[in-house]
């Protein structure tokens, strides 16, 4: 049995923390000293991105915070608007894995602050340069180029956590965990979405293009490693809103939908053209954009514009926001368990959802299907619940 001693447990007062497994550990520390939550994020994130690459054939990345993905994505080339949204130079050459991480981080930049990164492929210099400019706790990948490892090892004054995962590692079929001295045992969840999981279309609208299947796959893979209850909105190969750990499913749908709305509104030219001061940090820009788009501002960024802007920005009105969101369409939505009421579907429609995946099995399935039909959505039942605790 190999054991790795950790910095501390969930909290600094929880000492004597370690991870171990029979035989050789599949994860190697290349730099830094990981903590308990770092390893939880790394192992969950690694499973997500490796399964996402298997399901789609594309490089994948995830941005984890507190054992749930703030964002997950596959490597679809960024268009001009997305480069502006994610603060990527139009001339910057991005490798597939770097592109995937830019998307994963850009899904919810506020939540990704201080994330743990998971990459499905070798971290090259292109990706390391993106990581080096973000506030992050660490990264896990199957390998690193020499230049990438050198750059990442210098991050955070040399303390940045860099982990290497053995791609050939296969976990045992049976997994256990101990809670309050009591051991729980279950089979490992081996579900990976495929086209057959989208074959049971229950709505009148049967249209489900391949790109929507890809987005639903992204959402389902993300949900499998998101603390339940959970709901995920996805678009163009990435999550755009993740609602995690809510006791009520409608609260998951609202939380994730509000995040998706912010992502959609960030495409608006008024947001893209905000006249930030040239030396304003990326993190300050993220915070200001969040406040600029908020319905109820904690502070009026337009009233105190000199802190952030070269000149007073033009307001994006409530009416303009509603008009912009009404144009949204083609968004995919997945849920880790069935929708018990139609209110989830009605809320999803406000964020441009056209495609829905859920397990089915509610006594009110007919009411939920009717709601999807009224909104012209395509909905499929997977018959697979994806709770994660």
Question: Which residue in the list 44, 65, 155, 259 is annotated as catalytic?
Answer: 65
Question: Residue 150, CB half-sphere, CA atoms under 13 Å: how many?
Answer: 4
Which of these, 72, 82, 76, lies nearest to 58 by C-alpha position? 76
Alpha carbon 30 to its chain's center? 25
Please name the residues in contact with 58: beta carbons below 8 A apart, sequence gap of 6 or more.
52, 74, 75, 76, 96, 100, 237
Q: Would you call 229 a catalytic residue per the annotation? A: yes
For 72, the token pair is 């997950």
- What phi, psi does 278 have (nearest 5°)? -60, -25
Asked if 125 contacts 152 with a C-beta cutoff of 8 angstroms, the reply is: no
Question: Which residue in the list 66, 129, 270, 321 is annotated as catalytic?
Answer: 66
CA distance 215 to 60: 13
Asked if 260 contacts 215 with a C-beta cutoff of 8 angstroms, the reply is: no
For 165, the token pair is 């995962």
Question: Which residue in the list 31, 38, 44, 229 is annotated as catalytic?
Answer: 229
Angle at 386 between CA 382 and CA 389, to 5 degrees: 170
Asked if 125 contacts 97 with a C-beta cutoff of 8 angstroms, the reply is: no
Q: Would you call 65 a catalytic residue per the annotation? A: yes
CA distance 103 to 222: 14
Strands 161-165, 136-141: pairing kind: parallel
Q: Would you call 66 a catalytic residue per the annotation? A: yes
Helix (H) or strand (E) holding 47: helix 36-56
- What phi, psi does 52 have (nearest 5°)? -65, -40
Which of these, 124, 110, 140, lies nearest to 38 by C-alpha position? 140
- What phi, psi does 117 have (nearest 5°)? -100, 140
User: Mind telling me the catalytic residues?
Assistant: 65-66, 229, 389
């Amino acid at each position: 049995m190999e054991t790795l001693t950790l910095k501390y447990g969930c909290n600094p007062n929880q000492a004597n923390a370690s991870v171990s497994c029979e035989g050789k550990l599949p994860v190697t520390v290349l730099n830094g000293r990981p903590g308990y939550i770092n390893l939880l994020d790394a192992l969950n994130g690694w499973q997500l991105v490796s399964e996402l690459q298997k399901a789609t054939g594309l490089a994948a990345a995830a941005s984890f915070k507190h054992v749930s993905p703030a964002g997950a994505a596959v490597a679809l080339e960024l268009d001009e608007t997305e480069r502006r949204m994610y603060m990527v130079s139009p001339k910057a050459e991005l490798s597939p894995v770097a592109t995937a991480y830019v998307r994963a981080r850009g899904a919810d930049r506020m939540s990704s602050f201080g994330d743990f990164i998971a990459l499905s492929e070798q971290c090259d210099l292109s990706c390391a340069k993106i990581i080096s400019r973000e506030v992050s706790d660490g990264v896990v990948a199957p390998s690193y180029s020499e230049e990438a490892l050198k750059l990442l090892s210098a991050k955070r004054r040399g303390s940045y956590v860099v982990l290497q995962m053995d791609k050939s590692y296969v976990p045992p079929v049976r997994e256990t965990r101990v809670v309050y001295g009591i051991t729980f045992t279950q089979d490992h969840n081996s579900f990976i979405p495929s086209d057959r999981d989208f074959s049971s279309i229950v709505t009148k609208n049967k249209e489900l293009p391949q790109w929507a299947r890809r987005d639903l796959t992204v959402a389902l893979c993300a949900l499998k490693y998101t603390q339940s209850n959970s709901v995920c909105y996805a678009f163009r190969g990435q999550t755009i809103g993740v609602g995690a750990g809510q006791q009520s499913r409608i609260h998951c749908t609202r939380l994730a939908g509000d995040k998706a709305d912010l992502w959609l509104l960030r495409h608006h030219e008024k947001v893209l053209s905000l006249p930030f001061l040239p030396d304003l940090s990326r993190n300050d820009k993220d915070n200001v954009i969040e406040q600029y788009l908020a319905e109820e501002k904690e502070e009026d960024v337009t009233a105190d514009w000199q802190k952030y802007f070269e000149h007073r920005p033009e307001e994006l009105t409530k009416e303009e926001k509603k008009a912009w969101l009404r144009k949204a369409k083609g968004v995919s939505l997945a849920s880790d368990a069935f929708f018990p009421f139609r209110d989830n579907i009605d809320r999803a429609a406000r964020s441009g959802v056209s495609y829905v995946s859920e397990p089915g099995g509610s006594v009110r399935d007919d009411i939920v299907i009717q709601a999807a039909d009224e909104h012209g959505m395509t909905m499929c039942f997977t018959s697979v619940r994806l709770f994660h605790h």
